[in-house]
Every structure is written in structure tokens, then in C-alpha cells.
Structure 1
């Protein structure tokens, strides 16, 4: 199915947000996630189902001043 990841369309077979992160080699990464503009906590990712056309944002924390 087509999922929009950080603004780019991707063809992925991931059914959940957790599976999507694994497919993108981000399974163990410390990231913030949102689906269709709604923040998704790390504990909710395995239960967060994805559908055709969903927009997923994945953000890594940045340090600096």
C-alpha cells in the first residue's frame, strides 16, 4: 500500500506503525511519530493500524543551541 512518509510516497506492506518503523530500519531508534497529524506514543505503535494513503511523520530528536 502507499503510505506518505515525511512527505514522500512509499510502497510498503506494513500494517502497523511499529512494522513501518522496522521496515525503514528504525525499529530501535528513538524517534517521535505522528499519523495523519496525531502524535503516537511509542507504546501505541504496535496497535496503530495504517491504511492506504496515511501520512506518517517520523522525527529524530536534535541537539544543539
Structure 2
């Protein structure tokens, strides 16, 4: 399946967001995720099915003042 991850085209065989994050090296990282612009909460990543052409954004929280 063809996806866009943080603006980069990727090809994957994974079918859900949790598996994609694991495959891409995010594993247990504390990140925020969105699929096609809609927030994808961590508790629903295993249930969030991906489709060909989806755009996924993964953002790590930043600290600062």
C-alpha cells in the first residue's frame, strides 16, 4: 500500500496505524498521530485501519519555554 508519512512517500504491507508506527521505528515513542488530518489517539491506533493513499503525520512533543 502506498502512504505518505510526514510528507514522504512510503510503501508498506501493514494494515493499521499501530503496526505502521512499529514498522517505522516509533514503537513505544510518545508521539501524536493524525491520519488524513484527523487526530488518531494512541488508544485507537490498533483499530485505525489504513487505506492506500492515506497521509499520516507523526509529531513528537517539544519542550520549551
Superposition TM-score tier, normalisation by shorter sequence: over 0.9
The answer for unaligned runs of 5 or more in structure 2 is: none
**Superposition TM-score, scaled by structure 1 size:** 0.96
Query: Which consecutive segments of 4 or more residues in structure 1 shift more than 4 A?
Result: none
- Alignment of 1:31 onto 2:36: no
TM-score normalised by L of structure 2? 0.96
What are structure 1's unaligned runs of at least 5 residues?
none
Q: How many residues align?
A: 65
Aligned-pair Cα RMSD in Å: 0.6
